[in-house]
Structure 1
Amino acid sequence: MRLFTAIDLPDGFQDEVAALQAPSALDARWTDPDQFHVTLRFIGDANAEQTARYEQALADMTAPPARCKPYGLDVLPSRRSPRVLVLGLERTASLVALYEAVSGALEREGLSLEDRDYTPHITLARVDDTASETVHAFLRTLNAHSFPAFRADQFVLYESTLAPNGAAHDAQAVYSLNG
């Protein structure tokens, strides 16, 4: 199983983000709005025994709800080399605390330490072969759009199945934030 943990978007917020997807304005592989999420920690491939340990560690974990505050459209990995169009989220104290709690619980069960900084975001599209100038022009057309903050009261352990038209994410377990 290929696993990751994530925060789901509220329904109204999900619809608002989906409205940004204008396939005619940018040649990209757009993310299905039903698959929108804020990744907390990517786990990767796990066997049944590892999965059971991760599930239990996450169930035993306590953390308070997280405040998710979008700052606007952005690209990853960099402006010079855009490959992924995202709605970026601020690293609020509560979101970083949740990331650290999830990471700590998983790492105590043998998951490797994360080798990069946590960059919370919602993936909107993959723009692999699109010229950076085209991507930046698209961003400029939407730069005045703002999104409200939302509160995450739970997170999900997902199984991700790769397919030619994109990954499909299936919830394996849902965890309430109650700390």
Structure 2
Amino acid sequence: MPRLFTAIEIPAQVGTTLSMLRGGLTGARWIDPENYHLTLRFVGDVDDVLAREVMYMLGQVRRRAFDLALDGLDQFGGHKPRSVFAAVKSSPALMELRAEQERIMQRLGLSPDRTYKPHVTLARLRDASSRQVADYLATRGYYRSPAFHVPRFVLFSSRDSVGGGPYLVEAAYPLS
């Protein structure tokens, strides 16, 4: 089984507005809009038995649908920027869904996930200076999306590559 992770899909209309932020940053490898997502929990490379257990346990999640919005742009990496992303406006419903998935994964024997900061990656960076990234964020960091409805979360798989897709929906889990 390929590498797995759970995520929230970004609606096409929000993806379109995010894609308009592309460009103007040397060394950026921009994520294709159809691959925008908000990762909830990285599962990793697992065998078929564990993958089936993960799929079954995620099917037991009972949460209500909720609304989200993106709120500003930022970067990971500090003085050596690695990526540019759209931040997610604070959402208790999102954090509860994420925490439940974290508990499930740990019960299945997976190691605890790293510190969680909800975001949508827009670009992975190579050789971009912190000054270039600061200038980019100064001109585009104001970005705010309209609120969008989250009716489900998905289990994605990705093929071993340099990141950024393509991603395949292995299973979808509706939120009530």
CA contact (8 A) 1:162 1:168 kept: no
Aligned residues with identical type, % of pairs: 33
TM-score normalised by length of structure 2: 0.92
Residue aligning to 1:160: 158
Number of equivalent positions: 174
TM-score normalised by length of structure 1: 0.91
1:61, 1:147 → 2: CA distance? 27
1:37, 1:138 → 2: CA distance? 22
Residue aligning to 1:135: 133
Residue aligning to 2:81: 82
How many Å apart are 1:166 and its aligned residue? 4.4
Residue aligning to 1:29: 29
How many Å apart are 1:77 and its aligned residue? 3.3
Unaligned stretches of 5+ in structure 1? none
SS at structure 1 position matched to 2:82: strand
Unaligned stretches of 5+ in structure 2? none
CA contact (8 A) 2:71 2:144 kept: yes
CA contact (8 A) 1:61 1:105 kept: no
Name the aligned partner's letter for residue 63 of structure 2: A
How many Å apart are 1:130 and its aligned residue? 0.5
1:149, 1:77 → 2: CA distance? 28
How many Å apart are 1:30 and its aligned residue? 0.5
2:163, 2:110 → 1: CA distance? 29
1:105, 1:155 → 2: CA distance? 15
Select the residue among 140, 146, 149 that pairs with 2:147: 149
1:67, 1:162 → 2: CA distance? 32
Name the aligned partner's letter for residue 90 of structure 1: K
CA contact (8 A) 2:25 2:133 kept: yes
SS at structure 2 position matched to 1:95: helix
Residue aligning to 1:109: 108
